[in-house]
């Protein structure tokens, strides 16, 4: 299984091959900031790929359009910025995303 290292949390998790970065984080009980709940229409889940960009599926048309529309064409120049809800893991990667943390248990009773 591929590993995803998340900085600055400095936590490495295993990802099912083909899962998105965000799906892998959620599977390990981590909160990943998002406002569209992983639909790929905002950029609040965007992360910087520090290592292993070649181990992600290529940037798709929809992801490219969202990044460009929301952050401007400069966001696409170096290819390191990806939407965690869209980037599918095929091998080890190191990403940087402030705000990722262990998810809080729900305050609602389970009755």
pLDDT digits (tens, 9 = 90+) for 45-101: 999 999 999 999 999 999 999 999 999 999 999 999 999 999 999 999 999 999 999
Residue range 10-29: average pLDDT? 97
The torsion defined by the Cα of 59, 94, 29 and 102, in degrees rounded to 10, comes to -120
Q: Enumerate domains of the chain plus CATH numbers.
A: 3-101 (3.10.20.30)
Distance CA 21, CA 44 (A): 14
Nearest to 42 by CA among 101, 89, 87, 83: 83
| pLDDT given at position 108 | 52
Which pair of structure tokens corresponds to residue 14?
């295993």
């Amino acid at each position: 299984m591929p590993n995803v290292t998340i900085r600055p949390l400095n936590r490495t998790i295993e990802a099912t091959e083909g899962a998105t970065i965000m799906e892998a984080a959620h599977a390990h009980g981590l909160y990943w900031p998002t406002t569209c709940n992983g639909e790929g229409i905002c950029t609040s889940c965007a992360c910087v790929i520090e290592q292993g960009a070649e181990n992600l599926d290529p940037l798709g048309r929809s992801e490219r359009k969202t990044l460009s529309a929301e952050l401007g064409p400069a966001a696409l120049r170096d290819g390191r910025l990806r939407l965690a809800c869209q980037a599918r893991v095929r091998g080890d990667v190191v990403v940087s995303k402030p705000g990722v943390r262990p998810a809080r248990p729900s305050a609602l009773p389970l009755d």
